[in-house]
Amino acid sequence: MKLYNTLTRKKEEFIPLEENKIKMYVCGPTVYNFFHIGNARPFIVFDAFRNYMEYRGYEVNYVQNFTDVDDKIIRKANEEGISPFDVADRYIEEYFKDADALGIKRASVHPRVTDNIKEIIAFIEELISKEYAYEKDNDVYFDTKKFKEYGKLSKQKLEELNLGARIDVDEHKKNPMDFALWKGKKEGEIGWPSPWGEGRPGWHIECSVMSKRYLGETIDIHAGGQDLVFPHHENEIAQSEACSGKQFSNYWIHNGYINVDNEKMSKSLGNFFTVREILEEIDPRVVRFFMLSAHYRNPVNFSKEMLLQSKSAMERILNSKEKLMFLSSHAQGLLTEGEKLLINELYGFKDKFINAMDDDINTADAISAIFEVARFANTTVSDSSSKEWVEMNLSLLNELTGVLNIANISEGEDISQEVEKLIEERKAAKKDKDFAKADDIREKLKNMGIEIEDTRQGTKWKRIN
């Protein structure tokens, strides 16, 4: 298994801290609204990676946090006249609704910042005692000049870093690049008692503390979106390694950006979409399929056209599954001599799938291997195939789609037996020269989203958009 490590800017062999165990931290949402399509990409990609590693026999301790205290949450609470805790509770519940729809499994732990205030205060006290942090009025800042390796993740030297919109310029700081570990309470805000007065944690300290609490001082993998490399993950490294004196994470994995209709997603351009809005029109399975159809480090363009292409592609796999499910219910017998000769070719696609995923989580090539299984099944499995051969093809198709959690047939969605029954009725109607009835059945099938084709080998059917 090789992973592209943002820290070293190269692919490296993955060697876990403990054999067959992985400690993995993924940055979760700030819960003041429904999460948007940009958030969905890391949630889906790293969920698929976790599934794959479990498939390969690893025990994955997977931590994804909720930032449940933040300026945006406080602002939302003040706008609505409710408490920030109510805002956070509401959108954590909504997060799980959308995540469930997208096939994202629960993390091993979903820690909340507000459940870790005591640990955050203790962590900051440790940084102050080691002279990596300083108090100014009721605030506490991390002294970036004291951490000599600051900038090693983003590959920028401290003196070269530009002061952008995400860096606070404040006369309280010793240096412009210093960042807040603790923010003194202001009017209209919530706060907790601390040695520096009432206040709340800074953004970056939260993930360092929750990662340490649930995974330890050094972890295998820290993951998130490319936008988090600087300043968030850079600052996590600085404060975590300053506190422990140990490497924080051995591997840093970041997914690429999402554009919407070839433009950067932003509220000002009016192309900012929440997952909830998208799922009102699009099958969530299509969204997940789309996200995994590109390599996670590549930028992707999100558009209705691309979603329709993903839907069509996904339905080719669903069609193959439904055909195999139907044939399995009718077929009989063990492998024929001819079928035995095809076994190695069938399982060669599994090797392709594994090789793709082992090469830096290449889900795009892994899905290509799944398509090869579907095409192979469509050409080698027929009404005359043995039950054992049908089930071998179906089992492998289910196994590989199950790893990525894509192209799953929903409960009650398998309509193959009903379709076959209608096709038989149409066949009988044509034999009786009742062509009006035959046409009615064709129309009924079309309304069910089924297209039929009469061939010399019989009537074939497939799903249509």
**Is 321 a residue whose pLDDT tops 50?**
yes
pLDDT band at 227 (very low <50, low <70, confident <90, very high): very high
Query: Helix, strand, or coil here: 199?
Result: strand
Phi-psi region of 151 (alpha: psi -120 to 50; beta: other; left: phi over 0): left
Rounded to whole angstroms, the Cα distance separating 412 from 392 reads 23
The percent of the chain in helix, strand and coil, each rounded to the nearest 5, is: 50, 15, 35
Provide the mean pLDDT of the chain.
92
pLDDT band at 285 (very low <50, low <70, confident <90, very high): very high
User: Residues annotated as binding site?
Assistant: 27, 207, 232, 236, 267
Rounded to whole angstroms, the Cα distance separating 76 from 110 reads 22
Rounded to whole angstroms, the Cα distance separating 347 from 353 reads 10
Q: Which helix (H) or strand (E) holds 300?
A: strand 300-302
> Angle at the Cα of 134 (from 129 to 139), degrees rounded to 5?
125
Rounded to whole angstroms, the Cα distance separating 318 from 241 reads 48
Return the pLDDT at 28.
96
| Residues 372-388 pLDDT 10s | 999 999 999 998 999 99
Residue 242 corresponds to which amino acid? A
Return the pLDDT at 411.
60
Does the bond joining 231 to the residue before it have cis omega, within 30 degrees of 0? yes
φ, ψ dihedrals at 126, nearest 5°: -65, -40
**Among 44, 82, 43, which residue's Cα sits nearest to residue 64?**
43
Strand locations in 186-340, DSSP E?
199-201, 219-225, 249-255, 258-260, 263-264, 300-302
Question: What torsion do the CA atoms of 199, 139, 79, 232 make, to the nearest 10 degrees?
Answer: -110
Return the pLDDT at 445.
85
Rounded to whole angstroms, the Cα distance separating 127 from 239 reads 8
**Is 451 a residue whose pLDDT tops 70?**
yes
**What is the DSSP annotation of 442-465?**
HHHHHHTTEEEEEETTEEEEEE--
In DSSP terms, which residues pair with 269 in a beta bridge? none
- The alpha carbon of residue 241 and the mean position of all alpha carbons in its chain are separated, in whole angstroms, by 27
User: Residues annotated as binding site for Zn(2+)?
Assistant: 27, 207, 232, 236
User: Residues annotated as binding site for ATP?
Assistant: 267
Length of the chain in terms of residues written: 465
> Angle at the Cα of 401 (from 396 to 406), degrees rounded to 5?
160
Token pair for 67: 């930032």
**Is 50 a residue whose pLDDT tops 70?**
yes
**Among 240, 128, 120, which residue's Cα sits nearest to residue 191?**
120
In DSSP terms, which residues pair with 25 in a beta bridge? 63, 222
Rounded to two decimals, the pTM is 0.89
Query: Helix, strand, or coil here: 306?
Result: helix
| Residues 108-160 pLDDT 10s | 999 999 999 999 999 999 999 999 999 998 999 999 999 999 999 999 887 77
